[in-house]
Amino acid sequence: MLAQKKKVKRSMAHTPNKLAYIIQRGVLDLELVAETKHNWVIMAEGRVDSGASMSSIDSGFVDVLRLEPHSSVTVNSASGKKKRDIVNVGFYWDNEYYEMDFNIADRGTLPTPILLGRDWLGTE
């Protein structure tokens, strides 16, 4: 059974102990929720990256979850400045529900489809 939804706008104020646990683990198991008539839940791993200011999600997951972009942002990455679309994603971690914006990126060659940045860590 899924935990009760807890909406988080742009950041999460984690306790110092929880923040240390998150950073030590590095990769977290997440349950992504597709807001459809079936409310599908898809299990995925998310990598914590304190160097990223904004969280990102793989474009393939966006297609599977049938998410529609609501805006865009210019991000600085190793390959330079790029304009990326933004989607709102709901997910569960540690029996809590989070809902926040992710920029859409091609993460197909990376080990995890989701990157959790400082916006989720609450350190931005």
Give the pLDDT band of residue 86 (cuts 50, 70, 90): very high
DSSP state of 24: H
Give the pLDDT band of residue 94 (cuts 50, 70, 90): confident
Per-residue pLDDT tens for 52-76? 999 999 998 898 888 899 999 998 8
Domains in the chain: boundaries = 16-121
Is the pLDDT at 38 greater than 80? The verdict is no
Predicted pLDDT of residue 83 = 95
Partnered with residue 77 across adjacent β-strands are: 80
CB atoms within 10 A of CB 56: 24
Is the pLDDT at 78 greater than 50? The verdict is yes
CA 77 – CA 73 distance, rounded (Å): 12
Strand, coil or helix: 20: helix
* Phi, psi (degrees; rounded to nearest 5) at 8: -125, 125
| Domain spanning 16-121: CATH superfamily | Acid Proteases (2.40.70.10)
